[in-house]
Amino acid sequence: MSFVTSKALSRRTLLRGLGASLALPYLDAMVPAFGGVGLRAAGRLPHRFQTFYVPNGMAMQYWTPKGQGRTFELSPILEPLAAYREKMIVLSGLRANWNYIHAGASGSFLTGTPRGGRNEVEIIADVSMDQILAKQFAKETQVASLELSMDAPANAGACTGNLSCAYTHTISWKSETQPLPMEYNPRSVFEKLFGDSGSTNRSAREARLKQHRSILDAVHAKIAGLQRELGPHDQQRISEYTDSIRDVERRIQRAEEQRELELPTMEQPQGVPPIFEDHLQLMFDLQLLAFQSDLTRVISFMISKEQSARPYPQIGVPEAHHPLSHHGDAPELIERMSKINRYHTELFAKYVGRLAATPEGDGTLLDHTTILYGSGISNSNAHAGDNLPLMLVGGGAGRLRSGQHLVYKDEPTMANLLVTLMDKLDVPVERIGGSTGKLPIDTLVGM
């Protein structure tokens, strides 16, 4: 039974102590009693947007589903998401706006830009979709957006086609000439969400590492006082939520200790576990907490940068990812490439499962989230920009007609999809990058 009061708890309630602040997850006590207009009653639970970017193209034979509309069959790469088939829209036939090897792949993914720089010092794109949303949603959240990656940022030097590394290392652009660095250190992400000063410089991080009390210790008394005023259901949610935060803190600290033992030099980044899966799990946990506490409603995440050379021996693929993606159309190499692509969707499916298991209002976090998953390259061997591997996952706050495979015959650009998604998120815009209109994603004519 929901616990309601005549004086509802604010959705943006914060617990403060020792310079730290902690936002709360959605609680039943945030709904006014006797039919009052609360978030649930008014249907105004947050609609969140996330991008999950995968690099170096796709083994398209293993990605593309068979069939169209609602009768499609999941492909080998998409099979790990079978439990969420009814919350998926697979999109085939869209083309990139700026198809220039790896720079155009990530550079135009959220910007829809039809052009870019011509050398390593000329950095030009467009404002990315996530940053347009962030500017709007920042009116209601503490953190406008998170830009996250599993790779260290590099916004200087040339990485691809003699163009700046900014293109391959980020998908988020604050302006036409301002690419945003992606944060890969879990410690810094945690501090941005829950820390006391917002500083991520080394001296500030090291000073806070020496503190003997965690953020939860600082607000413990206030949490205890709040719990006495809540119903049993909310008490359990608060307990689970604070346990999750404490567990993330503990594992970040442990990761730093392990990193220090293996690589004690000061040049090594703090808080980044040496094992890929451990690092990824921390980043997923932080993204979940950020959404759950409504600290932000916009997250852009790159599981790897473009041209990533990460090998995957844990799944039987010891070759570096980027060289393997230039497979020369050899079937055995394409099949090996598909194992990496499938592994990425397996890891993504675990994160989707976490969202689906986290209650919010009368549904779950997944119900109130739209996730854009995909790559800015299709056939990696040719750096192809047509028929991009794309899908939408999530309930979309009831705005998505999911469980479909939509195939577009007229090669619309991905920028048109971005414009449509802005409509779905109630932040309409006339254009993004080189868009020429809106993309129909509910149904296609003739289907």
Q: How many whole angstroms separate alpha carbon 56 and alpha carbon 45?
A: 36
Query: In this structure, how many other beta carbons lie within 10 angstroms of the beta carbon of residue 446?
Result: 5
Name the helix (H) or strand (E) containing 60.
helix 60-63
Name the helix (H) or strand (E) containing 343.
helix 331-356
Q: Residue 23: its pLDDT value, please?
A: 66
DSSP letters for 143-188: S--EEEESS----SSEEETTEETHHHH-S-EEETTEEPPPB--HHH
Q: Residue 157: its pLDDT value, please?
A: 80
Return the CATH number of the domain spanning residue range 47-178+297-447. 3.40.720
Q: Residue 229: its pLDDT value, please?
A: 77
List Cα–Cα distances, 302 to 23, 110, 145, 165, 189, in angstroms.
Answer: 26, 12, 14, 15, 14
* Closest to 395 in 3D by CA, of 374, 361, 419, 366: 366
Q: Where are the domains of the chain?
A: 47-178+297-447
Helix, strand or coil for residue 23? Answer: strand
Q: Residue 139: its pLDDT value, please?
A: 85
Q: Residue 39: its pLDDT value, please?
A: 44
Task: Please identify every stretch of the chain with a pLDDT value under 70, giving residue numbers as ranges.
Answer: 1-24, 26, 28-43, 155-156, 195-222, 244, 247-271, 444-447
Q: Residue 220: its pLDDT value, please?
A: 63
Q: Residue 261: its pLDDT value, please?
A: 36
Helix, strand or coil for residue 429? Answer: coil
Q: How many whole angstroms separate alpha carbon 328 and alpha carbon 351?
A: 33
